[in-house]
Amino acid sequence: MQPLHVPPREEFERLPLWKNAWRLAMAWVLGLILFLIYIAPVVMASETGSAPETDAVLGLILLDLLVGHVILVLAAFRRRAPVAIAVVTMALTTVSAWGVPAAFLVVFSLATRRRLLPLVWLGLLNVAAGLVHEHTVAKVTVPAQFRDSITGQGALLDGLVYAVLVSLFYVVVVLIGWNIGSRRELVASWRQQAETANREQAARVAQAQLAERARIAREMHDVLAHRLSLVAMHAGVLAHRPDLSEEERAEATEVVRAGTHQALEELREVLGVLRTDGDADGGGVVGAVEAPQPGLSGIPSLVAEVTSSGQEVRLLADADLWQRSVSLPTTVGRHAYRVVQEALTNARKHAPEQPVTVQIHGAPGQGLSVEIRNRVVPDRVGTLPESGRGLTGMAERAQLAGGTFRAGVEVTEFVVLVRLPWPVTGEDA
């Protein structure tokens, strides 16, 4: 079982090619610089004729080059087996100065995993490898005149100071990697929390949509029952009254045709909302039959009711709007009424002491516009725009009626604006 502080597995999957390539390229360049610094005394000594011309020196230099590139290749696979590759590369630095940057790249990658015990043992191996290289390989390759004592107090104290310097550099690399690993964990946790919040929000919105669809289905039941009962009655007359005149038969047939057309139109609207998901069980008739739903002409009574409850509501509308609304489709008027009702409920919930303005205007062919404004409470401005059941329901109603919906804070007011179609009928033409 992984320790709790280890980041999720996806954080340690292989890097994209270009990200891995530039890290390895930087390690190669740093290794080249370190190698040139390392062999510079040999080159200077050879120019003065004081370098030991032995095959051992040349062999160790070539071995340094070869092992350095082997370390670089191993570093490319550091995420597959980080501990094992870190141990092998650190041990190989005993004979290679070129591979030191690549080995520390492996150490850095391991430190981002924040596993303390392997890093401690690897630090001891790093000090041991440095001391072995300093007292074996360096003594053979570097001429004596370039091997000055660090402290001037003997090899023992020099070795101790060298071990401290190597350890300090190792600790700096580990701390940087550890800090980056912590940041990766934090970002991963934020990402996970954001994904969880998005899923929960989507579930809440879906639940609100299902609840609103069930409510719409219940509202439409009375209308469909009324239409279909008229159709059934006139169809029965046509079937059982052969003595009807042609004019009476044509009139009954027209009632059946118009009623069927209107019933199908309203049924199509319900199915358009409920077809994607949800169950119709919540939208059927359960218990008592509901009363007919109010329309646009019921808004003044609604405003008066809210005003009587203690909240100031101003209704702005043309004086003849209510007379002209007789040509407004019933479903559009019902959606407008429900939008105003829900907006007033939200205003009473979030800003109960602030005045509300309801402005309604429209005409056949121009559409119906319903705008509700209320002054927001300052400490609630940040929470009002968040979507919830009320806003979701209003948006669905506007979409169902073929209109548009917008809600949000404008300066110091929260505004709900709904535009619904108002088609021209024969009486308006």
Helix 82-92 to helix 100-111 angle (10° resolution) is 150
Q: Are residues 279 and 321 both part of a single domain?
A: no
Q: pLDDT at position 358, please?
A: 94
Residue 27 is assigned to a structural domain of this protein? yes
Q: Are residues 411 and 313 both part of a single domain?
A: yes
Q: Which domain holds residue 328?
A: 296-420
Q: pLDDT at position 10, please?
A: 42
Residue 189 is assigned to a structural domain of this protein? no
Q: pLDDT at position 334, please?
A: 85
Residue 140 is assigned to a structural domain of this protein? yes
What is the Cα–Cα distance from 389 to 148, expressed in whole angstroms?
79
**Digits of tens for pLDDT over the chain (429 positions)?**
444 444 444 445 567 788 878 888 888 988 888 878 777 666 565 555 555 556 667 777 788 888 888 888 888 888 888 888 888 888 888 888 888 888 888 888 888 888 888 888 888 888 888 777 776 765 655 555 455 555 555 566 666 777 788 888 888 888 888 888 888 888 888 988 999 899 999 898 888 888 777 766 656 654 565 466 556 666 776 777 777 788 877 877 877 777 787 777 767 765 665 554 444 444 443 443 344 567 888 889 888 877 866 678 899 988 888 888 888 888 888 888 888 888 887 787 777 778 999 999 988 888 999 999 998 876 654 433 444 567 777 888 888 788 999 988 888 889 999 999 988 875 554
Question: In total, how many domains does the chain have?
Answer: 3
DSSP code, position 356: E
Residue 276 is assigned to a structural domain of this protein? yes
The CA-atom distances, in angstroms, between 130 and each of 94, 326, 378 are 6, 94, 65
Domain boundary residue, one of 99, 133, 148 = 148
Q: Are residues 249 and 368 both part of a single domain?
A: no
DSSP code, position 245: -
Q: pLDDT at position 274, please?
A: 54
Residue 24 is assigned to a structural domain of this protein? yes
Q: pLDDT at position 293, please?
A: 63
Residue 325 is assigned to a structural domain of this protein? yes
Q: pLDDT at position 60, please?
A: 76
Burial call 129-164: b when 16+ CB within 10 Å, e when fewer: bbbebbeebbeebbbeeeeeeeeeeeeeebbeebbe
CB 421 within 8 A of CB 332: yes
Identify the bridge partners of residue 167 per DSSP, sorted by sequence position. none
Domain boundary residue, one of 148, 177, 198 = 148
Q: Are residues 266 and 390 both part of a single domain?
A: no
Q: pLDDT at position 402, please?
A: 87
The CA-atom distances, in angstroms, between 394 and each of 183, 212, 397 are 42, 9, 5
115, two tokens: 């596993």
Q: Are residues 259 and 387 both part of a single domain?
A: no
Residue 312 is assigned to a structural domain of this protein? yes
Query: Which secondary-structure segment (H or E) carries 414?
Result: strand 413-420
Of 15, 289, 45, 20, whose CA–CA distance to 146 is shortest?
45
The model's pTM is: 0.42
Domain boundary residue, one of 125, 148, 171 = 148
Q: Are residues 275 and 316 both part of a single domain?
A: no
Q: Are residues 22 and 54 both part of a single domain?
A: yes
CB 424 within 8 A of CB 364: yes
Q: Are residues 412 and 332 both part of a single domain?
A: yes
CATH of the domain at 398: 3.30.565.10
Q: Are residues 274 and 325 both part of a single domain?
A: no
Q: Are residues 313 and 387 both part of a single domain?
A: yes
The CA-atom distances, in angstroms, between 268 and each of 27, 50, 198, 283 are 68, 100, 32, 15
CB 117 within 8 A of CB 144: no
In 52-148, which residue ranges form alpha helices assigned H by DSSP?
55-75, 82-92, 100-111, 116-132, 138-141
DSSP code, position 136: I
Residue 83 is assigned to a structural domain of this protein? yes
Q: Are residues 79 and 38 both part of a single domain?
A: yes
The CA-atom distances, in angstroms, between 299 and each of 10, 151, 295, 305, 306 are 57, 94, 7, 10, 11
DSSP code, position 142: S
Q: pLDDT at position 80, please?
A: 82
Q: Are residues 278 and 300 both part of a single domain?
A: no
What is the Cα–Cα distance from 57 to 132, expressed in whole angstroms?
17
